[in-house]
Chain A
């Protein structure tokens, strides 16, 4: 048994001693590195280890949570005592409890040893390559930030119903923020890459992407207000899909905080739209063999042929709704108790390349960045007004760059107004972990000058 699994088992025994009827221990250990380069040199380099344990206890129908970094017997005993003490404060919750269904789903490729085999020097060189690639573009006036980061870690989960499992995972990612123009005309562009190890990152592609996205916006001005078709690029589509995914959590639905409440089975989107949440896709960095409370991972179709197929459930929300868990208990670290969340949202690609989406839009707006999504959307009504940056679409082609605009609509109208999904999908770290594609939307209110 691994050291983590042993600590988890010990915590369960101590929880029972402290008076818990049932308990669950999540123990993790990770090593993470981050390299930031600027102007051809290392600006910061960090290498850090972390380990801790989160203990959830149930005393009758009350539950409490405690976490800590001290994994000695004394530390774990204090944790068990704190968790039981916390449970005493809670009101009774008839739906609280460990999942009825525990188990694991084999997912290949979560860990790549290359993440630790690469030397620090090689990783620094990768970051410098990104910076050079971005600076090589004529018109790039500054490369503000280049970050390479990776992590490797092990997670062990055990509960008093006999579930005990562990897995190892690794991740490597990098991004660059490049500038084009100067002073008041300065525009920024972001390039990103995600993989399981540094060998899976293409530094030149990341650098090029940051530079090209900035250069495409050079000379942007505020356009006149209009109603027009809109094309969202994959970054922006991912941000919206991530927001919508959050609204499909049964937690949000049951608490009356989702505009999708009571709409299961209804048509909420264009008939060609298909969106799934998949915790078993090795390409998605949120994949794992089991969820945050030990239910086996799976793929759940959320929107099929435009209809809302299901919400995402953990054990508690499933019990309350008389349904089964979808394995959607999320956990960002040992410091947080499990709660419903998306894993990897996957949008089914369409068959139109971006050029065709633009052609079909005719005269419209191509959006490459949105700002204020989380403050600009009313989660209950779904109405939104967000800041946007991008290019006009003129005669079916990309035209002049525009900024300081807002686009306004509501999420369901927007989903229904989708006219085509692009054929090029990619993993994007916005809105959670999302495999997104560009989207062609019908007319939206675009306000500028």
Chain B
């Protein structure tokens, strides 16, 4: 599973700490999501999508899909 969290965050000039604070998770968790080490729960994935104004499938992608 790939995701565009890092790209979306950097487009908004946010630090991992900023995003973590707004999502109420730890900075390490944001880093783990961005690097694909941790797959967030559906509620957190939805919150991430809402945060960036995107649908969940616009942020998270199956491997092999664009």
Do A and B truly interact?
no
Residues of B within 8 A of A (CB): none
